[in-house]
C-alpha cells in the first residue's frame, strides 16, 4: 500500500518535470531522468493548533524554502498553509486547528550536477556559482538547518 502511495506523486512529479523541460529549451526527459530513482521523500507532517494565548503572529512553522527540485502537496481543506508570491504577499490562514500536511519532495539523484542549465548561460549571463552535485547541496542545506551535524 505504501509503495502505491509513494508511486502516485512520484509519477505526477515526473510528468510535471517532463512538461517543464521544453520551456527551458531542454529535451523532455532532461529533469525526469535526473530525478528518476532520486532521493524523493513522502512525508506526513502534523502541525498542532496554535494555542489561543500564543503571541500575535505565532506560527506553527517559520517561513522557509524547500530544498528539493519540486514539491507536490496533497490538497487540503484547511486554509493555513501560506505560499509567498514573488512579491512576498501571502494569504493568512486559520491556525487554531490541527493540521496535517503530506508533501512529496522530488529530489534528483545525488550525482546530478546542479550546474547552470545550458539554455540559461550566455556570454552576458555566465554561471554565478561553481557546479555542485545535488547530494552535496542537500547535505550542505541539511547541516545549515540543523538536521545533520
Q: Angle CA(119)–CA(142)–CA(86) in degrees, nearest 5? A: 50
Domain membership of residue 6 (yes or no) is: yes
The predicted pLDDT at position 113 comes to 94
Question: Model pTM?
Answer: 0.78
Domain membership of residue 86 (yes or no) is: no
Domain membership of residue 84 (yes or no) is: no
Domain that holds residue 107: 2-78+93-144
CATH code, 125: 2.60.120.330
Give pLDDT tens digits for 90-131: 665 556 777 888 899 999 999 999 999 988 899 999 998 888
- Quick one: pLDDT band at residue 50, thresholds 50, 70, 90? confident
Residue 77 neighbours by CB under 8 Å, 6+ apart: none
Domain membership of residue 88 (yes or no) is: no
Which of the two residues, 11 and 131, has the higher pLDDT score?
Answer: 11
Domain membership of residue 106 (yes or no) is: yes
- Domain count for the chain, please give it: 1
Amino acid at each position: 500500500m505504501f509503495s502505491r502511495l509513494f508511486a502516485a506523486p512520484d509519477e505526477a512529479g515526473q510528468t510535471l518535470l517532463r512538461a517543464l523541460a521544453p520551456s527551458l529549451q531542454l529535451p523532455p526527459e532532461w529533469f525526469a531522468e535526473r530525478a528518476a530513482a532520486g532521493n524523493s521523500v513522502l512525508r506526513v507532517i502534523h502541525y498542532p493548533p496554535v494555542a489561543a494565548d500564543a503571541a500575535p503572529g505565532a506560527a506553527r512553522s517559520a517561513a522557509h524554502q524547500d530544498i528539493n527540485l519540486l514539491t507536490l502537496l496533497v490538497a487540503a481543506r484547511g486554509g493555513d498553509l501560506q505560499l509567498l508570491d514573488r512579491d512576498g504577499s501571502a494569504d493568512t490562514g486559520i491556525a487554531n486547528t490541527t493540521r496535517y500536511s503530506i508533501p512529496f519532495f522530488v529530489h534528483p539523484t545525488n550525482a546530478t550536477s546542479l550546474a547552470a542549465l545550458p539554455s540559461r548561460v550566455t556570454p552576458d549571463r555566465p554561471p554565478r556559482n561553481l557546479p555542485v552535485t545535488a547530494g552535496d547541496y542537500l547535505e550542505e542545506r541539511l547541516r545549515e538547518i540543523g538536521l545533520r551535524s
